[in-house]
Structure 1
Amino acid sequence: MFSALLLLSLVLCTSCFYPPVVNISLDDPPEVRWAPLLKVFDVTDLNKAAAEVIDSTVPKWVHHALAPVVVALDKYIPSPYAGEIRGMASHFGATLSDIIILNFAYEISAFCTSIVAQDTSGHVYHGRNLDYPHDVLRNLTINIIFLKNGEVAYRGTSFAGYVGLWTGQSPNKFTVSGDQRVAGVRGGEGVVITRDRQGPADIWPLDPLNGRWYRVETNFDHWLPPPSRDHRRDIANKALNATGQENINIDTLFQVLSVYPVCNGMTVYTTTMSAAFPDNYTSVIRPQGCHWTDSIV
């Protein structure tokens, strides 16, 4: 069954599309470096979408609680992010508190499935689905290329108005996806890091010599069973086993990430990447998510 689903998953993304690309120069001052967003997005549409995310995600009391942060932004938010947030507010024509709240809103209710896998030649691949309960985020998803001295320093996929990265790649160094999933460029350089407020609480590396050539992480500690309603981890494991280490690559990893419910109705975008092959970084927006009926067409 899973072999058939993996073959059919190529059909799932016929409606997918690539997010717009924005170049951000790290040589520019933080307050102005996000101005290129305005070449891609209409300010009115951005503000309307941002308001939808904020109103449906952040409790009203948070707005009042942020008052001291607005007054002393640099005290609470380190450089260069404080300057970038100021600049974002200026570009959007929004209040500083709204941009801060928007960044918090993006942090509150995101979900994901992240997979790191190694093939039989020692190449490491990394993929992720980002799930979020707001359809409007599909219209805010962007690929960002960060430039330093005219060269690509790193790239990633994020949402307009957010000054960090959910998904990113430093060419020929490492890849990372939200919730601290990391992959490197050499065999064995893949690990799931579970963190608490003090630092790493668990390190779960690849162990290909003992047959553990992939790791799947969702939103629950990997050493505990997920809730009975969440089957993403189990289905992803079965799909990877059906694929086999000898067949894992960027394309087959995308197929695994396309199988329901690994990809589901809340999936905003899917990214596949490999730090050793930085030109293969690919993110696609899934305009309607994925559904079980899609997988059995």
Structure 2
Amino acid sequence: MSSKLLACVLVASFVLTVCAFGGHKAETAKTFVVDLDAPPLQRWQKVVQSADANFIQKGIDKLLRVALPNEALVKLVEAIAKDIERFIPQPYADEIRGISQATGIPLGDLVISNIVYDVSASGTGRSKACTSIVTTDHNGKIYHGRNLDYAEPSFLKNITIQVDFHRNGKSLFMATTYMGYVGVITGSRHGAFSISGDERNTGKWWNNLLAVEKGSGFTFFNERWILENKETYKEALIEAVLKPTIAPVYYILGGITPTEGAIVVRNAHTLANFTMLGMDETHPWYLVETNYDPWKAPPASDDRRDAAIHAMNRVGQDKMDAEMLYKVLSVPPVFNEQTTYTTIMSAADASVYRTMIRWDGPDY
């Protein structure tokens, strides 16, 4: 770890300090509205009108070279992209098609970029790919925070957006995603639950493709479906436990009462395990998930979990709030060179949804 990162420490007063790398500042992600009552082909048109299609195309090309290094895998994914109606469920197929029509980006490239997690997530993953924390404050209010870490962070930071999904003229849920990506990796349904997805670095990519044939759902289309269709934390948790996914994943959920929080550990197609808020007697007021099974020690080369736990314990439940959770997620190595954004949310309080694009990261 560099001396610059080591300079970021927890001070004795329990207040966390964050280094400003190179003088850059984090930036609030721009918010767009997507109307779920509009035809799928039209839903994202206003969102992508402001996008630089050439920039997105170049970024997709770079991202796919990193995520799909195997030529055989590329050919299989291209086959899925060519048969969109068979593999991509509605309304997501038409939403992607609409984005292609509005931007001129080839449909196949957009399909591949929307399913890249499901076909590439495996035990050989090279990205750190996320930290999620669900916590309660001293009054029992639930906060849910997450860092999204992934390859090509400079590109992804430039296309990070918040989306306010509307139904019947009202805001239904908030989400953070990337321009051109119709799934949801981070989201909060007002008055009900919040959910984030972290990569699970297990399995083999060819097993993921077999799960496609078995009819499992694309991981982050599933997450968006839960946000759209489930009205309570309990309903969302049951769906996360039971709904088959193509790739291994951790779904992290928060609710609106002090006991509502969970880490759902999924294999491709099947449930592996789950952990509920309060089960860990050493810190029953919060859950931390990075990219390793909760019952196993993380590797010494990527121990973001213990860094987050240490930071949470130094803050303490009495001082926990949205600002403190953001600062916990800003402590290296929880905050690292692949962090693209940090989101803080609370399903119990619609005013608490903030995504910061992490231009202040150590890659600048």
24 and 288 in structure 1: CA distance in 2 versus 1, 3 angstrom threshold:
same
Q: In structure 2, what residue type is equivalent to 1:29? A: P
Measured against aligned partners, the alpha-carbon deviations of 1:130-177 in whole angstroms (never above 9, x if no partner) come to 111212111011111111121111111111111101100101110011
Measured against aligned partners, the alpha-carbon deviations of 1:101-136 in whole angstroms (never above 9, x if no partner) come to 111335545600000111221111110001112121
Superposed displacement of residue 188, structure 1: 0.6
- Counterparts of 1:142 and 1:110, CA distance in 2: 21
Superposed displacement of residue 257, structure 1: 0.5
Contact 1:103 1:162 in 2 (8 A): yes
Match of 1:52 in 2: 62
Residue in structure 2 matching 1:69, options 80, 92, 116: 80
Residue in structure 2 matching 1:269, options 338, 341, 345: 341
Contact 2:49 2:102 in 1 (8 A): no
Contact 1:58 1:101 in 2 (8 A): no
Match of 2:258 in 1: 187
Superposed displacement of residue 27, structure 1: 1.0
Match of 2:236 in 1: none
Moved more, 116-125 or 32-41: 32-41
Contact 1:188 1:208 in 2 (8 A): no
Provide the secondary structure at the position in 1 that maps to 2:42. coil
Contact 2:129 2:148 in 1 (8 A): yes
Answer yes or no: is 1:152 the counterpart of 2:171. Answer: yes
Match of 1:29 in 2: 39
Superposed displacement of residue 282, structure 1: 0.5
8 and 71 in structure 1: CA distance in 2 versus 1, 3 angstrom threshold:
closer
Residue in structure 1 matching 2:10, options 2, 24, 45: 2
Provide the secondary structure at the position in 2 that maps to 1:89. helix
Answer yes or no: is 1:240 the counterpart of 2:312. Answer: yes
Moved more, 224-233 or 205-214: 205-214
Match of 2:275 in 1: 204
Contact 2:48 2:179 in 1 (8 A): no
- Counterparts of 2:274 and 2:289, CA distance in 1: 12
- Counterparts of 2:138 and 2:45, CA distance in 1: 44
Answer yes or no: is 1:282 the counterpart of 2:347. Answer: no
152 and 225 in structure 1: CA distance in 2 versus 1, 3 angstrom threshold:
same
146 and 267 in structure 1: CA distance in 2 versus 1, 3 angstrom threshold:
same
Answer yes or no: is 1:99 the counterpart of 2:126. Answer: no
Contact 2:24 2:360 in 1 (8 A): no
Answer yes or no: is 1:257 the counterpart of 2:329. Answer: yes
Moved more, 75-84 or 52-61: 52-61
- Counterparts of 2:286 and 2:24, CA distance in 1: 27
Q: In structure 2, what residue type is equivalent to 1:167? A: T
Contact 1:195 1:202 in 2 (8 A): yes
Provide the secondary structure at the position in 1 that maps to 2:258. coil
Match of 2:219 in 1: none
Provide the secondary structure at the position in 1 that maps to 2:39. coil
Unaligned runs of 5+ in 1: none
Q: In structure 1, what residue type is equivalent to 2:185? A: W
Match of 1:38 in 2: 48
Q: In structure 2, what residue type is equivalent to 1:8? A: T
Match of 1:15 in 2: 25
Q: State TM-score, norm by structure 1.
A: 0.90
- Counterparts of 2:43 and 2:332, CA distance in 1: 38
Superposed displacement of residue 63, structure 1: 3.9
Q: In structure 2, what residue type is equivalent to 1:126? A: H
Cα RMSD, aligned residues only: 2.3
Q: In structure 1, what residue type is equivalent to 2:142? A: V
62 and 158 in structure 1: CA distance in 2 versus 1, 3 angstrom threshold:
same
68 and 272 in structure 1: CA distance in 2 versus 1, 3 angstrom threshold:
same
Contact 2:41 2:98 in 1 (8 A): yes
Q: In structure 1, what residue type is equivalent to 2:340? A: V
Measured against aligned partners, the alpha-carbon deviations of 1:207-241 in whole angstroms (never above 9, x if no partner) come to 18955111110000010011110121111111111
Provide the secondary structure at the position in 2 that maps to 1:163. coil
Moved more, 90-99 or 187-196: 90-99
Q: State TM-score, norm by structure 2.
A: 0.75
- Counterparts of 1:193 and 1:100, CA distance in 2: 27
268 and 80 in structure 1: CA distance in 2 versus 1, 3 angstrom threshold:
same
Residue in structure 2 matching 1:132, options 106, 126, 150: 150
